[in-house]
């Protein structure tokens, strides 16, 4: 990367809980970014103190040398304005494009010296509240240096559709939005460097894992749920075709093959066992591997012969398990769906099976699936698994061709080896995390070169979806602070000037209230003054730290401006450091006009 500086993020990238592709990808991204170490330092801004402490400990273990050198800072998110004003950031990168990027762009525009790139990748895109999330990206302060990173061509096309839909629906044809680029996810180099086991080693692995030693094993890896990643039942039906020789396929003996289903399951979900029972009725042995850890997952990949993934769910955007299987040297049978077609070379590293799904409203048959159809109307009021199930059951994988693909690989061990090696080599060429990190660095370089307005022109461009608290809630208080409000020291303020009082500042306010300036605020009001004059004089007296940079404790405060001055004045009135020179009129009696 040509422009070194500081890497910033509002995310931890390290998540606990169920093993999901998004979490694996985000952890891999952070781990290999720190391993490459292309930046001068790394700033993580988090809102929760406990999470900050946990992340700091995790980063010390993940990148001990960088952490020991003091180049990793885990900061309070309330420090953002001050840090943005005082720091030359090379980029801010989020773990997704949904939650924070547009809001971070508003903060950058308001406080930073330069329009640094802000990026975030897509993950699952199929949640019904995502149109509102993408609408945040469309606003007058957006620039081309704000970039959504699609992980596949299909994912990029879906994001384009989001923005087309929003621009048409809200009349935003001329409203700027972010750039779109494609950078895939990656896998750890260790996966592709581990030797493919020979026959004896595979037999020992199967014995250790409790798998049949002599059968051809087909592995499915992912969340075992018909409402989440894929419906496995069509795969079982395709194998049933092979057992019967239906449709002219070469007949396969049921006792020569077994299906291994490995992945996350919920404790109360009976569906995985239902698949085992259905398989048994059709003559297929189905083996469950519930929630395998990373080490056991690697052993499963090494012990099996074929990897199958027939994604049919709009939650699936990329397909990290496809890369993991290829890195392990397995041939892949996969549905030609979403990002899968970017990862699997049909006929080289495996076989893609065609899929059939709903036509868009603009197609030749709009009456089938109009925009705002029944499923679209229901989705916002259903649980995730409910509407995803409805959508996924409208996508089918071609069962006869799926059976043919499986039959071809089951019948030809040499073909399996050739395809497995071809996939392994492609992963080594294109999809290892160090290569993916280089593509991110190239992207950040490119984004810096894109034309952008002078940041000064964006300073006071509000985001239309940011709540203007003062204006919205102006009717709540009895009176409003104005430049003409007369102020003088209160009882606590007089005690402060005499050295008998020390203001109590609540935790969490140290980034927005500067306690060392409060005495000067009261001193400037000692003879009585107007709030506007007091604010101007206070700002002038504290001009030495108006940039909002880190204080003597390393904390960055909000930059000083008239808003900060008014906030300090109101805080001082709240705590009796200042008071009105005359009592304000009280609230109106019922039926009387407000004073």
What residue ranges in 264-384 does DSSP mark as E strands? 285-290, 306-309, 332-335, 350-353, 355-356
Domain ranges of the chain: 6-186+439-458, 189-357+395-431, 472-580
pLDDT of res. 423: 97
* Interhelix angle 294-303/320-327, nearest 10 degrees: 60
Span 236-290, pLDDT tens digits: 999 999 999 887 778 999 999 999 999 988 888 888 999 999 999 999 999 999 9
- Whole-number Å distance between alpha carbons of 454 and 3: 19
Pick from 85, 104, 525: nearest CA to 568: 525
Mean pLDDT of 418-434: 97
Contact 39, 54 (CB under 8 A): no
Q: Is 101's pLDDT higher than 60?
A: yes
Q: How confident is residue 39, by pLDDT bands cut at 50, 70 and 90?
A: very high
Enclosing H/E stretch for 578: strand 578-580
CA distance 305 to 202: 10
What is the dihedral sign for C-alpha 3, 7, 9, 12?
Answer: positive
Question: What is the spatial distance between Cα 308 and Cα 257, in angstroms, rounded to a whole number?
Answer: 13
Instruction: Report the pLDDT value the prediction gives residue 365, as an integer from 0 to 100.
Output: 57
The average pLDDT across 179-206 equals 95
CATH architecture group of domain 6-186+439-458: 3-Layer(aba) Sandwich (3.40)
279-289 pLDDT, tens per residue?
Answer: 999 999 999 99
Q: Are the CB atoms for 325 and 416 separated by under 8 Å?
A: no
The per-residue pLDDT for 20 is 74
Q: Tell me the C-alpha to C-alpha distance, in Å, between residue 539 and each of 343, 509, 518.
A: 58, 19, 12
CATH class for domain 189-357+395-431?
A: alpha beta
Tell me the average pLDDT of the chain. 92
Helices (H), 210-328: 233-244, 271-281, 294-303, 320-327
pLDDT of residue 268: 85
pLDDT attached to residue 182: 98
SS3 442: helix
* pLDDT, tens digit (0-9, with 9 covering 90-100), for 362-412: 555 556 777 778 889 999 999 999 999 999 999 999 999 999 999 999 999
- How high is the pLDDT of residue 148? 98
| pLDDT of the residue at 1 | 52
Q: Which residues contact 27 (CB under 8 A, 6 or more apart)?
A: 13, 14, 15
Q: How far apart are CA 164 and CA 171, in angstroms?
A: 10
Distance CA 446, CA 180 (A): 12
- Tell me if domain 6-186+439-458 and domain 189-357+395-431 are identical in fold: yes
The pTM (predicted TM-score) of the whole model is 0.91
Tell me the H-state helices in 49-142.
Answer: 49-62, 64-68, 80-86, 101-111, 130-135
| Percentage of residues of the chain with pLDDT beyond 90 | 82
* Comparison of pLDDT for 455 and 557, the residue scoring more: 455
Cross-strand bridge partners of residue 187: 432
Question: Does the pLDDT of residue 523 top 60, yes or no?
Answer: yes
Per the model's pLDDT, the better-predicted residue between 559 and 43 turns out to be: 43
């Amino acid at each position: 990367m040509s422009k070194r500086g500081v890497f910033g993020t509002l995310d931890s990238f390290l998540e606990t809980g169920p093993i999901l592709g998004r979490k694996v990808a985000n952890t891999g991204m952070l781990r290999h970014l720190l391993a490459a170490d292309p930046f001068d330092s790394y700033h993580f801004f988090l809102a929760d103190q406990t999470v900050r402490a946990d992340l700091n400990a995790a980063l010390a273990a993940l990148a001990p040398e960088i952490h020991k050198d003091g180049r990793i800072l885990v900061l309070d998110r309330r420090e953002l304005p001050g840090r943005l004003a005082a720091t030359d950031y090379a980029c801010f990168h989020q773990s997704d494009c949904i939650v924070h990027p547009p809001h971070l762009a508003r903060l950058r525009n308001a406080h930073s010296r330069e329009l640094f790139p802000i990026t975030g990748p897509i993950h699952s895109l199929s949640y019904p509240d995502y149109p509102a999330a993408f609408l945040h990206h469309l606003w007058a302060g957006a620039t081309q240096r704000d970039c959504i990173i699609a992980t596949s061509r299909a994912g990029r096309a879906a994001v384009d559709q989001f923005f087309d839909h929003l621009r048409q629906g809200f009349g935003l044809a001329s409203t700027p939005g972010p750039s779109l680029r494609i950078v895939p996810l990656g896998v750890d180099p260790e996966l592709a460097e581990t030797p493919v086991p020979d026959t004896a080693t595979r037999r020992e692995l199967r014995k250790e894992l409790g798998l049949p030693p002599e059968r051809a094993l087909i592995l499915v890896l992912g969340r075992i749920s018909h409402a989440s990643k894929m419906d496995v039942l069509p795969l079982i039906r395709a194998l049933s075709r092979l057992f019967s020789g239906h449709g002219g396929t070469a007949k396969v003996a049921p006792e020569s093959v077994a299906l291994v289903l490995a992945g996350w399951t919920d404790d109360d979900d009976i569906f995985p066992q239902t698949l085992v029972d259905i398989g048994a009725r059709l003559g297929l042995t189905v083996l469950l591997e519930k929630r395998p850890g990373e080490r056991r997952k690697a052993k499963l990949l090494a012990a099996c012969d074929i990897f199958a993934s027939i994604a049919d769910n709009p939650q699936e955007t990329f397909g990290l398990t496809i890369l993991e299987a290829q890195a392990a040297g397995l041939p892949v049978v996969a549905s030609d769906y979403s990002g899968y077609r970017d990862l699997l070379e049909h006929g080289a590293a495996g076989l893609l099976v065609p899929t059939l799904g709903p036509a868009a409203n603009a197609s030749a048959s709009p009456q089938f699936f109009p925009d705002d159809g029944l499923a679209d109307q229901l989705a916002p009021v259903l649980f995730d698994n409910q509407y995803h199930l409805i959508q996924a059951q409208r996508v089918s994988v071609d069962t006869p061709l799926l059976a043919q693909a499986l039959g071809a690989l089951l019948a030809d061990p040499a073909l399996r080896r050739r395809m497995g090696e071809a996939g392994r080599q492609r992963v080594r060429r294109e999809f290892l995390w160090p290569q993916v990190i280089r593509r991110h660095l190239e992207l950040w370089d490119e984004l810096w070169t894109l034309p952008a307005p002078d940041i000064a022109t964006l300073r006071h461009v509000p985001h239309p979806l940011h709540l203007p608290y003062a204006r919205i809630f102006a009717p709540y208080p009895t009176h409003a602070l104005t430049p003409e409000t007369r102020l003088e020291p209160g009882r606590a303020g007089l005690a402060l000037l005499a050295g008998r009082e020390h203001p109590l500042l609540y935790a969490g306010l140290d980034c927005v209230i500067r306690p060392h300036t409060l005495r000067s605020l009261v001193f400037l009001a000692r003879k009585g003054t107007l709030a506007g004059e007091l604010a101007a004089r206070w700002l002038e007296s504290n001009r030495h730290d108006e940039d909002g940079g880190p204080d003597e404790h390393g904390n960055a405060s909000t930059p000083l401006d008239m808003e900060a001055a008014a906030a300090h004045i109101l805080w001082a009135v709240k705590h009796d450091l200042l008071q009105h020179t005359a009592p304000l009129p009280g609230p109106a009696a019922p039926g009387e006009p407000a004073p």
